[in-house]
Chain A
Amino acid sequence: MSSQTDMPTLQRCSAPKFLLWLSFWVLLLLWGAYGAFLCLYKGLNQTGMNNYFVFGVWITVDLAIIALGAGAFFSGFLFYVLRFNFLKELIGAAVVVGFICYSGAIGMLTIDIGQPLRGYFSFWHANVHSMLTEVIFCITLYLFVLTIEFVPLITENRRIREMPFLRHLGENLHGIMVVFALVGTFLSFFHQGSLGGMFGTLFARPFSYRTGVAIWPWTFFLFILSAIAAGPALTTLVVWATQKITRRRLVNRPTLSRLAKLSAILLVIYLVLKAADTIYWANFTAPEMGFRFTDFYKSPYGMWLLFGEFYLFGLVPAIILLIPRARDNDFWLVIGCLFTCMGIVLNRFSFTIQTLAVPVMPFEKFVVYSPTWQEWSIVAAVISYGVILFSLAYRYLHLFPREAELNG
């Protein structure tokens, strides 16, 4: 953390230009707020969810942004605990991205549960045998930890630093950040895993059911691995996009390459284990439950989903990012990171939607889920909330410690 004396003045765009940028996102946010109002006022009949699809686009996006937000805990763990010092250049941005992802996910869940006033039931009347209970406890606590990690960034603002107590608070929180990094790692490990475990234990849903070790199905470990592979990729993308939009150098270029390489290595490990899991599931687990592998893939959720997840958005970005010359090139870096993120979104989509689309009763048919505009509007609102918050954080906080030096 910098002290007041070495806090540089950073160049930012004019207020009208900034407000113009924000106005588009605010309009999207308002559209989402209207959609949310309809869902809360009229009920979940405003959505495309029904007796087949109790999970819809909101849960897909929730799982995806929670996985993509893993960059915060993983970067924090690498920086504060394992002392990967190159991450200092973007640890602040990673925390803000993580905060946006988790607060956005919880905001979306608030609409999804239909009766937000009874949201506390999951804490008060906790079902300790449910993976979802672990998830809700962990993501709530982790959002709290992310808020604490966000505070030192806010207290570095020039105006706020003039208030002695807040300034000391930021510095003291920063001093014990390793504790929060460890707690965040513990919480993230379990909720990322439990989100996968939740699908893996669905014995009555053969598409997602998996064998495993002790009480944890293999999906528990695959979800953790995929999240820590995709998290750094999103952080890289966000930092790269911020540099392009602001036309300023925010971090050293090799830092982005190193983060992308880390993401690629983890992605390869994930793909190998995911391939092993899929082969075992297709040849042993599913047949034992009376299903052929091809029963699970029908239009529109055809085999292209599996191939897309494994090859186009799995193997391809992993290879791109493992080649030094490719990841040092901006175009290929972006393609690699973007495809990695898309692969994780596709994986979460398959587990959420395809699991429920596959018939499990003799009289059922393969069903298709169509989200309504109200559902899309809330997804758009979460994205616009993220852009607005990151824009404000970039404008008013000191997210990138080397910005002044790199643009000197």
Chain B
Amino acid sequence: MWPTIFEFSWDTGHMIFFGVFYAVVIIIATSLVYAFAKSIVDTFSNNGSFDDRHAHKPMDKNETLGG
């Protein structure tokens, strides 16, 4: 799996096999990081398809902070 472990060699088979494997892992990881990061941004910015129930509602004229 890593160049430092037993039986790893810098031959064509290892480079193609692990090249493709790590490319797939990187694509999955990048997509996940993107989805997580965007979700965090969306959560704190209250935009996008966020449901109205969770959105900040402006206070009514008659409401007071003290209730």
Residues of A at the B interface (CB closer than 8 Å) are 3-5, 123-126, 128-129, 133-134, 137, 141, 144-145, 148, 161, 164-165, 167-169, 171-173, 175-176, 179-180, 183, 186-187
Interface residues of B (CB under 8 A from A): 1, 5-7, 13-14, 17-18, 21, 24-25, 27-28, 31-32, 34-36, 38-40, 42-43, 48-54
Using CB atoms, name the residue of chain A closest to B6. Answer: A125
Contact A186 B38 (CB under 8 A): no
Given contacts A128-B17, A176-B31, A176-B34, contact A141 B25 (CB under 8 A): yes
Q: How many contacting A-B pairs (Cβ < 8 A)?
A: 72
The 8 Å CB contact of B14, one of A4, A128, A172, A186, is: A128
| Complex CA–CA separation, A5 to B5 (angstroms) | 54
User: Which A residues touch B54, using CB under 8 A?
Assistant: 164
Report whether over half of chain A's contact residues are helix, strand or loop; otherwise say mixed.
helix
- With A137-B21, A165-B40, A176-B34 as given contacts, are A171 and B5 in contact (CB-CB < 8 Å)? no
Contacts of A129 in B (CB 8 A): 13
Please give 4 more A-B residue pairs, beta carbons under 8 A apart, in addition to A128-B17, A148-B28, A171-B39: A5-B51, A124-B1, A167-B51, A176-B31
Give A180 to B27 CA distance when docked, in angstroms: 9
**Dominant secondary structure at the B interface:** helix
Known A128-B13, A128-B14: A168·B24 in contact at CB below 8 Å: no
B22 to chain A, nearest CB (A): 11
Pairwise interchain contact A172-B13, C-beta atoms closer than 8 A: no
Residues of A contacting B32 with CB < 8 Å? 148
CB atoms of B39 and A168 under 8 A apart: yes
Are B13 and A183 in contact (CB-based, < 8 A)? Answer: no
Q: In the complex, which residues of chain B have a beta carbon less than 8 angstroms from the beta carbon of A5?
A: 51-52
Known: A4-B53, A171-B48, A176-B35. Is A141-B24 also a contact (CB below 8 A)? yes
CB atoms of B51 and A172 under 8 A apart: no
User: Contact between A144 and B28 (Cβ–Cβ < 8 Å)?
Assistant: yes
Is the beta-carbon distance between B43 and A168 smaller than 8 angstroms? Answer: yes
Query: In angstroms, how far is the closest chain A Cβ from the Cβ of B54?
Result: 6
| Contact A183–B27 (Cβ < 8 Å) | yes
Q: What is the bound-complex CA distance between A124 and B4, given in angstroms?
A: 11
Q: How far is the CA of A108 from the CA of B40 in the complex (A)?
A: 37
Which B residues lie within 8 Å of A144 (CB)? 28
**Residues in B whose Cβ lies below 8 Å from that of A186:** 24
CB-defined A-B contacts under 8 Å, sample of 25: A4-B51, A124-B1, A125-B5, A126-B1, A126-B17, A126-B18, A128-B13, A129-B13, A133-B17, A134-B17, A137-B21, A141-B24, A145-B28, A161-B51, A164-B54, A165-B43, A167-B51, A168-B38, A168-B39, A168-B43, A168-B48, A169-B35, A172-B34, A172-B39, A179-B31
A171→B21 CA distance, assembly (Å)? 27
Q: Is the CB of A171 within 8 A of B49?
A: yes
Report chain B residues within 8 Å CB of A4. Answer: 51, 53
Which chain A residues border B21 with CB–CB below 8 Å? Answer: 137, 141
Alpha-carbon gap, A183 to B13, bound state (A): 21
| Contact of A3 with B51 in the complex, beta carbons under 8 Å | yes
Q: What residues of A have a CB within 8 angstroms of the CB of B1 in the complex? A: 123-126
Complex CA gap A390/B17 in Å reads 35
How far, in whole Å, are A4 and B38 apart by their CA atoms in the complex? 19
| Cβ B28 vs Cβ A141 within 8 A | yes
- Cross-chain contact B38 with A172 (CB below 8 angstroms): yes
Question: Could you tell me the distance between the alpha carbons of A348 and B21 in the complex, rounded to whole angstroms?
Answer: 27
Tell me the nearest residue of chain B to A173, going by C-beta: B35
